[in-house]
Structure 1
Amino acid sequence: MKIAQSIVLREASIGPYMLELTLADGTFIQIESRWSIHDSNHGAEKEWYADEGEEVLKYVRKLIGVQVLEIRIDERVGGMVIKFANGIDIRVPADVNFEAWNLHRKDGTMLVSLPGGEVSKWLPSA
């Protein structure tokens, strides 16, 4: 499932045990589990946990202002990939014990990766 495309990352912050991302269209993403950054330009990958604080934020803030090409949700396994125009991907796998991520859109759509990988959807009422 493809969620968004061609939207700039506007803000990144760290909360208690979570990374929060806000896109220019108001889409809000919380990452509450392990995740990784993959740099296709250098073949590098770094795994992070949401509670690693300022070190994480320092790296992610470099993505502010960069265009998000797409957000892809794999409903079969509960994973999410956020692809940026500069060749960076943020990859969030499902977590066996916790909600790994959730995504909220201004239209009321909400997606949540439940423990074990199921994705729950709440869609706006017509």
Structure 2
Amino acid sequence: MLLKYWGLGLILILPMHAQAMGYSAEYVKCMNSAGTGSTSLANCIQSEFNKQDDRLKSLFKQTLDLYSDKEKKAQKKYQKQWLKQRSQQCDKDQKSVSDDYKMKYYNCALKQTVNRANSLEKLTYRL
């Protein structure tokens, strides 16, 4: 009987944690209602990128609290390298060329940012 309630409690807790990871419900709704218009799609992607970038910054600050001063310095260095790599891989310099490049950049940066934030979130729960 106890096992039954423990399992139910676990089922109720897991969705809350899973919802924090990945894309927001607002983004999914926005993309579903955007149709095929590149401006609408770009706005959805850019808005979600901003949310996820804020999420990444918050999670990064949380994870820093888990490290010693020496380790914090290394983590900050790694984060700067990761941000630079994201900009290069997503061709940030080209985002002002046209709406298509802008959407391409934000789409790439969003995917990478979500993946990095998810990794940090898993790390904070594991440690």
**Which structure ranks higher in relative contact order (CA pairs < 8 Å, sequence separation ≥ 6)?**
2
More strand by share: 1
The TM-score with structure 2 as length reference comes to: 0.26
More helix by share: 2
The TM-score with structure 1 as length reference comes to: 0.26
**Which protein has the larger Cα radius of gyration, Structure 1 or Structure 2?**
2
